Amino acid sequence: MPRLTEDAKGVYVIALTPFTENGALDLESTDRMVDFYLERGATGLTVLGMMGEAQKLTIEESQTYVRRILKRVNDRVPVVAGVSSPGFAQMKALTEMVMDDGASGVMIAPPSSLRNDQPILNYYKQAAEFIGKTPFVLQDFPLATSVTIPVSVIQAVIEQIPTCVCLKHEDWPGLAKITALRAMAAKSGSRRISILCGNGGMFLPEEIGRGADGAMTGFAYPEMMRDVVQHYNAGDPERAQDLFDAYLPLARYEQQPGLGLSIRKYIMAKRGAIASPALRKPSGVLSRNDIAEIERLIARQTKRLEELS
Per-residue pLDDT of 42-79, as tens digits, reads: 999 999 987 889 999 999 999 999 999 999 999 999 99
From the list 1, 10, 15, the residue with the least C-alpha distance to 76 is 1
**Overall pTM > 0.85:** yes
Mean residue pLDDT across the chain: 96
State which residues form the domain around 115.
Answer: 10-236
pLDDT tens string 247-259: 999 999 999 999 9
Q: Is residue 215 part of a domain?
A: yes
User: Predicted confidence band at 154 (pLDDT cuts at 50, 70, 90)?
Assistant: very high
Q: Is residue 44 part of a domain?
A: yes
Identify the three-state secondary structure at position 138.
strand
- Say how far apart CA 44 and CA 242 lie, in whole Å: 25
- Say how far apart CA 294 and CA 277 lie, in whole Å: 14
Q: Is residue 291 part of a domain?
A: no
Q: Is residue 110 part of a domain?
A: yes
Say what percent of the chain tops pLDDT 90. Answer: 92
Q: Is 51 annotated as a binding residue?
A: no
Q: How many domains does the chain have?
A: 1
Q: Is residue 115 part of a domain?
A: yes
**pLDDT on residue 37:** 98
**pLDDT on residue 13:** 98
The CATH code of the domain that includes 179 is 3.20.20.70
From the list 162, 139, 136, 159, the residue with the least C-alpha distance to 149 is 139
User: Predicted confidence band at 263 (pLDDT cuts at 50, 70, 90)?
Assistant: very high
Q: Is residue 121 part of a domain?
A: yes
Q: Is residue 133 part of a domain?
A: yes
